[in-house]
Amino acid sequence: MTVAIHPNERAADGSIPAGPDVARPGSPGSVPAPVVRMPRHLLSAADLDRPTAEHVLGTALRIEQAMAGREVRKLPTLRGRTVVNLFFEDSTRTRISFEVAAKRLSADVINFSAKGSSVSKGESLKDTAWTLQAMGADAVVCRHSSSGAPQQLSAWVDGHVINAGDGTHEHPTQALLDAYTLRGHSRVARSNVLLLSTLGAQVTLVAPPTLLPVGVGSWPAQVSYDLDRSLVGADAVMMLRVQRERMSGGFFPTEREYSRSYGLDVRRRDLLAPHGIVLHPGPMNRGMEITPQVADGERSVIVEQVANGVTVRMAVLYLLLSGEADEISGRGV
């Protein structure tokens, strides 16, 4: 599947007009800053309204600035707190990103893998939750193959729960890191469908009918089967990995046919706006949904996404566990 991102409106100079929530204090038309309330848990991108999402991204920027030039890349903000990475399915990239984020905030980190644990011997999610509760985990980062598992977990533990991917449902920190990456290149760009639409972008989902999610018609996005037409003038394109199980499930004729119709090659990349960028959450099927020339090309920000993932997850952990950004803004670091 491909996500093409267009602006909803442009000023005469091609930029996106700032909304009242981002007007500078004292400027004409400025309004009081909106109240920002972080949810207790981050289970879905829909948990974040626009002011809160902007606050998370702004906090990530302040963290990046605070870390710049430090010989020791750590902040003391979460010293004495415990973060548990609870992964019931493999996702090395996401687990390492959360682990690095927590350690850079000086938190204690416990990595829990279902393989070789009591879960493999029949322990239920609820039993695991009680164990984490007894350990006094301040935050639990949960990755699970079943949709809704992190939400269920949040009802059983006192700590904050962050959804690191639950089946085919949600992956909110991926949405945030994509938004942060896009924001650094263009003010028009945001992140996945829920967050992108919340922050004001026009989103088009492109895929063969067999790969479109059930109920996609109710999503705040357009749907297209024509990748070339959708890419024309887009500010960004986000390629999504075709899962291996889809390749043998009859969802499309052959890998070559999919690549010919829906793969991003140099010709298609050049249909983007001149400033358009290419994203991919990884891991990639090189030569299938994206060619090596595009993945490694000058308009690709895929490596930048990985680095931004740590920064954004630092912001999420910090805001959930402390609620304020005083230390990040300079008074405590």
Confidence band for 219, pLDDT divided at 50, 70 and 90: confident
Q: Identify which of 187, 274, 189 has the alpha carbon closest to the alpha carbon of residue 4.
A: 189
Where b means 16+ CB within 10 Å and e means fewer, 234-244 reads bbbbbbbbbee
Pairwise CA distance, residues 292 & 74, whole Å: 34
Distances (CA, A) of 330 to 18, 66, 153, 293: 26, 7, 35, 42
Average pLDDT over residues 242-268: 81
Do 59 and 315 touch, CB atoms closer than 8 A? Answer: yes
Least confident window among 7-16, 48-57, 125-134, 165-174: 7-16
Percent of the chain having pLDDT more than 70?
A: 80
What does pLDDT average to over the chain?
82
Query: What are the tens digits of pLDDT across the range 56-88?
Result: 999 999 999 999 988 889 999 999 999 999 999
Query: What are the tens digits of pLDDT across the range 314-327?
Result: 999 999 998 643 44
Please give the pLDDT value at position 325. 38
Average pLDDT over residues 152-181: 92
Pairwise CA distance, residues 33 & 241, whole Å: 39
Tell if the pTM clears 0.95, that is, is over it. Answer: no
Query: What are the tens digits of pLDDT across the range 125-152?
Result: 899 899 888 989 999 999 998 989 999 9
Domains and CATH numbers, the chain: 2-9+173-303 (3.40.50.1370), 36-171+307-331 (3.40.50.1370)
